[in-house]
A and B are shown apart, each in its own frame.
Chain A
Amino acid sequence: MTDIQTWVNASSFASAGIAIGFGAIGAAIGEGYAASQAAVAIGSRPEQSGDILKLMLVGQAVAESASIFALVVAMLLLFTPQSPHLINVSVCLAAGICMGFGAMGSGIGSGFPAAAACVGTARQPAAGGRLMTNMLVGSAVCQTPAIFSLVIAFILLFTDFSDRPLSPTWAAILGAGISTGLAAIGPGIGGGLVAKASCEGVARHPANAAPVTNLMLLGQAVTQTTAIYGLLISFILIFRVFPETETLSRPMALLASGICMGLGAFGPGVGEGFAGMAAVDWLSRNIRAAGELTRTMLVGQAVAESTGIYSLVIALIMIFVF
């Protein structure tokens, strides 16, 4: 039987692979989509190619930051030595899963506003500066779920769990990683959809840039609430000390709570993103309907959030009741 240090090393190397492997998917898709729309834009208006290229490169740089977070976590997993306790097998795996999946959504999402900004500059060359600002703001807010994953991955890697009992804590750690990791995918994509609509809206009517940007920020903020639920469940799972248990059902309950919140955040994130996208899009077309649009968007997003709240409640019951 190989000793514990070998298991920990094996787990950390495998997790580094998972982290960068999944983390590379999202940013590549997003940047590719941005480049494709930039090519279309240059094709339709070749004399704007300088501005369009600049917008594309800046937007791609912001989309890249999610996979840079994944690279940082993978490097840490490769090069920082982990102490030889069996719990660290679970810690490395959780950190890898958390950052790997967390970078996916934000990478895809940040590609959308970059693409819309490129197409928008071709339509309306005079709005270039405002489009750059709007795209940067939208993409930066869209990176928030990836930042949450990074925070959890760092907390997992740098906290010493060796004084806690192995038996339910391995599942709590793994659940914490899965919770934030999976929960970041949907809100990342949703936030990107809203930012895309706002870039299109600013290109359509540059004079209405301020209310469009404000509604975009509001829509993105509501879309990210399910990622915050995932973050909350992860915090509870990491920082609550669970008493030792011999059964299998207790660890499975903790793992299941992480899976439940992680998966349950995907649908509401994407759905609220669709709602925000339509609201921002039609705000730019019809600025006088601002009040009704904001209200309808908030109400619709709140109802779409309900299954996310069910998942949160089930996850909390699994942690605290069993």
Chain B
Amino acid sequence: MGELGKIHQILIHLGGYTATLNLETMIMTWIVLTCLIVFGFMTARKRALKPGPLQVVGELLVANLYTLTEDAMGKELARKYSPMISALFLFLLLSNWIGLIPVCEEPTKDLNTTLSMGTMVFVVSHYAGIRAKGLKAYLKGYFDPIFFMAPLNIIGELAKVVSISFRLFGNIMGGSIIVLVITHLCYSLILPPLLNAFFGLFAGTIQAFVFTMLSIVYISVMVN
């Protein structure tokens, strides 16, 4: 139980500052990225008219994610942003699922991963807003509906980043802690795998989907 709070870190000292790398998170993130890139290459390599099994899975994923984006964002926006949204969803989904393998930990268990995903969505949505509306209309949007709502609107934007990141982090880390503690309290063969499946597969899928849906909504709200 003492191992609960330990994080393996690498410290790199350069010129007075220290860079901290969380070892397990980085390795697991690279593994997830490698899996996704390899899957992408192997699926898109030979596009036959009569699809093999890998191509069927690929087409299913792409079609469904594109329809999801298009329903929420509209046709022209969906063309631009659907690749990013699909990549985000697949990355989060695989990250949440990879915790089911015994030695592996989910990269989304680390606040750094989720905060960086949230910041990326924030930057993309605001850039899309400035691009679509122009700088003046974008800045004027902060003063809607009444003039002195401006500080509240600004805090609201920051709160969006905090909320999506912390929600994903809290759910995944909470799930893993629950499984660990219950396994420690009752050495049974039935309960922990069921709980692991519930939190890892089920809650992980839902949270990845919620994160993606919220990103879609944030981007489309900033553009309109």
Contacts and interface: CB of A to CB of B under 8 A. Distances in A.
Counting contact residues on chain B (CB < 8 A from A), the size range is 20 to 34
Given A225-B163, A231-B166, A232-B162, A306 B152 contact: yes
Given A140-B206, A158-B4, A221 B152 contact: no
Measured as residues with beta carbon below 8 angstroms from the partner, the interface class of chain A is: 35 or more
Contacts of B164: 221
Contact of B175 (A147, A229, A302): A147
Interface string B42-65: 000000000000000000000000
B137 to A, nearest CB: 17
B174 A147 contact: yes
Interface in A135-175: 136-137, 140-141, 144, 147-148, 150-151, 154, 158-159
A231 B162 CA distance: 10
A147 B171 CA distance: 6
A298 B167 contact: no
Interface string B155-187: 110010011101100110111011001100100
A179 to B, nearest CB: 13
Contact of A148 (B159, B170, B209, B221): B170
Given A217-B213, A306-B152, A224 B178 contact: no
B170 A217 contact: no
Contacts of B174: 147-148, 150-151
Contacts of B175: 147
A112 interface: no
Given A141-B210, A144-B171, A150-B174, A158 B163 contact: no
Contact of B72 (A72, A136, A214, A229): A214
A100 B174 CA distance: 16
Given A72-B185, A140-B202, A158-B5, 9 more contacts: A80-B1, A136-B202, A147-B171, A151-B174, A228-B159, A298-B221, A309-B155, A309-B156, A309-B159
Interface of A: 69, 72, 75-76, 80, 136-137, 140-141, 144, 147-148, 150-151, 154, 158-159, 210-211, 214, 217-218, 221, 224-225, 228-229, 231-232, 294, 298, 302, 305-306, 309, 312-313
Interface of B: 1, 4-5, 71-72, 152, 155-156, 159, 162-164, 166-167, 170-171, 173-175, 177-178, 181-182, 185, 202-203, 206, 209-210, 213-214, 217, 221
